[in-house]
Amino acid sequence: MPQTIAVLDFGSQYTQVIARRIRECQVFSKIYHYSTPPEKLRDDGVIGIILSGGPNSVFAPRAPMPDCGIFKLGVPVLGICYGLHLMGHLLGGRVVKGRNREYGHGRLHVSRRGPLFAGLPRRLRVWNSHGDKLTRVPPGFRPIGETENSPYAVLEDRARHFYAIQFHPEVFHTEHGTDIIRNFLVGICRARQDWTTRDFIRQATREIRSAVGDSRVILGLSGGVDSSVAAALLHKAVGRQLTCVFVDNGLLRKGERAAVESLYRRHFRIDLRVVDASVLFLRRLRGVDDPERKRKIIGNTFIEVFERSLKKVGHADFLAQGTLYPDVIESVAIGDNPAALIKSHHNVGGLPARMRLKLIEPLRELFKDEVREVGSALGLPKEVVWRQPFPGPGLGVRVVGPIVPAHLEVLRSADAILQEEMVKSGWYYKVWQSFCVFLPVKSVGVVGDERNYAHVIAIRVVESIDAMTADWTRLPYDLLQKISGRITNEVRGVSRVVFDVSSKPPATIEWE
């Protein structure tokens, strides 16, 4: 049993971010429901407790309250935001309902560093998001930091190892936030910093094995980072009990299907079923030029094909998915009652419920960069682990207008050249996405002495953090020239290459 830091979840949108910061400090943590009995925490070997923030006021009719026994376990406690208000409220201080929610940056002045701020500057920019206000410090505590709006932004009770902070150390906008958390974990809870990606893998495989038993698991493999890492992890856990299904929708990039077959079937020896449904997809897409209709047809056909393939695979109890934390739509409280939290998330169009499959999502608490680390540790090659995102509808939304097989072929060839040059020049791994788009217009060119009336390929290369906004990448002219030269020379049917210099917004990353 590893030393465990318990994060009690009071419904904060940042609870998973707290867990992530703890992992960054190489310490093991587990998220628990706020009402978890203290005995359970003790039995789990908990060496410290963090009370998360939350959307409620401690005065709300059904405000989530922990079992007060957690304060008697003799382990350090750190309350964050709502956690501070709870400690104030439950340990004899006074909390009042704030008139306005304080939201945004604040300036913290630390009057006494103590173990929580050891080695850190006394002035820090911090991120606030709270409604209630502490107006009287509970007995045993003393204030050690203040912001413009609160003289009690940080409290400590060194005798009992209780600490409370009003702001959010876990969010990126708080300076030295991870250092504050590390001080709590290492300096105060005396946690060992020995929790690594390999430990995560070991623990995840154990959990998968115990959940799955000797049942069979199906996974829809797209070849993208998330489903690839999920496949490798599940395979490590349950071996031949895992069957992966890869659907060739006819909208894949050059060599993609062969690469997937070679890696998973030959290298990993995974039971991989490749379903070639390209004819069906392309038939249904014939003549369709509206992007939304294309997406709907591709999405619905995928579900249909996948469902049919499951029947062929035979009985399975579990459907595995590479859902990541950012895919999990933030917790939404119904009214004021966090006990009624819904966590909805993307899945294959409601498939698990319809197929009566149990869902297994071993990556659902991880962030993208952590998933990449897990993938590398599992032996996935760099091209897979650092692959750029590729949309579900594939090249279908990169052939503008109706999809014609010959145009798809032109796009595939042009795109392969772009990718090759991006990788060779080292730019592939520096940008968010780089791809070609086929434009259904013709332009005049000249080849030798002959007039060449052919199509146009657009190059789209963008930088982004999360795809919500994006900026076009200033690729070197020499590189652009090389790509353009190779496409017009090597791909028949292209007379012109253009470079997309639109940012998002107002443009989107994909053209359709």
Give the nearer residue to ligand XMP in terms of CB position, either 169 or 393: 393
* Burial (Cβ within 10 Å: 0-12, 13-18, ≥19) of residue 143: middle
> Is residue 168 annotated as a catalytic residue, yes or no?
yes
Which of the ranges 155-163, 199-207, 286-294, 389-397 carries the binding residues for ligand XMP, by CB under 6 A?
A: 389-397
Among 85, 89, 130, 168, the one annotated catalytic? 168
Among 2, 115, 291, 392, binds ligand XMP (CB under 6 A): 392
Among 391, 395, 396, 412, binds ligand XMP (CB under 6 A): 391
Indicate the helix (H) or strand (E) that contains 276.
Answer: strand 271-276
List the one residue out of 11, 195, 167 whose CA is nearest residue 78.
167
Give the nearer residue to ligand XMP in terms of CB position, either 206 or 296: 296
Cβ-Cβ contacts under 8 Å for 159 (sequence gap 6 or more)? 140
Which of the ranges 94-102, 349-357, 388-396, 402-410 carries the binding residues for ligand XMP, by CB under 6 A?
A: 388-396
Q: In whole angstroms, how close is the CB of 295 to ligand XMP at the nearest point?
A: 6
d(CA 381, CA 228): 11
Which of the ranges 286-294, 328-336, 390-398, 444-452 carries the binding residues for ligand XMP, by CB under 6 A?
A: 390-398
Q: In whole angstroms, how close is the CB of 359 to ligand XMP at the nearest point?
A: 18
- Per-residue binding letters, 397-436, with ligand XMP (x by CB under 6 A): ------------------------------------x---
Is 467 among the residues that bind ligand XMP (CB under 6 A)? yes
294-295-300 Cα angle (round to 5): 105
Q: In whole angstroms, how close is the CB of 389 to ligand XMP at the nearest point?
A: 4
Cβ-Cβ contacts under 8 Å for 503 (sequence gap 6 or more)? 462, 469, 470, 471, 472
* Burial (Cβ within 10 Å: 0-12, 13-18, ≥19) of residue 148: exposed
d(CA 265, CA 231): 12
Helices (runs of H) and strands (runs of E) counted in the chain: 14, 22
List the one residue out of 111, 257, 198 whose CA is nearest residue 375.
198
Among 135, 193, 489, 508, binds ligand XMP (CB under 6 A): 508
Give the nearer residue to ligand XMP in terms of CB position, either 114 or 393: 393
Total of chain residues touching ligand XMP, rule CB under 6 A = 11
Among 102, 146, 170, 373, the one annotated catalytic? 170
> Is residue 173 annotated as a catalytic residue, yes or no?
no
Among 389, 402, 445, 493, binds ligand XMP (CB under 6 A): 389
Residue 325 token pair? 């934390």
> Is residue 161 annotated as a catalytic residue, yes or no?
no
Give the nearer residue to ligand XMP in terms of CB position, either 46 or 230: 230
Give the nearer residue to ligand XMP in terms of CB position, either 282 or 313: 282
- Per-residue binding letters, 266-295, with ligand XMP (x by CB under 6 A): -----------------------------x
Largest CA distance in the chain: 92
Q: What are phi and psi of 47, to 5 degrees?
A: -110, 0
Q: Do 78 and 48 contact (CB within 8 A), yes or no?
A: yes
Q: In whole angstroms, how close is the CB of 508 to ligand XMP at the nearest point?
A: 3
Residue 248's DSSP bridge partners are 276
d(CA 159, CA 49): 16
Interacting positions 293-312 with ligand XMP (CB under 6 A): 295
d(CA 272, CA 285): 27
Q: In whole angstroms, how close is the CB of 174 to ligand XMP at the nearest point?
A: 28
Active-site annotation, residues: 81, 168, 170
- Binding residues (CB under 6 A) for ligand XMP: these are 295, 389, 391-393, 433, 467, 504, 508-510
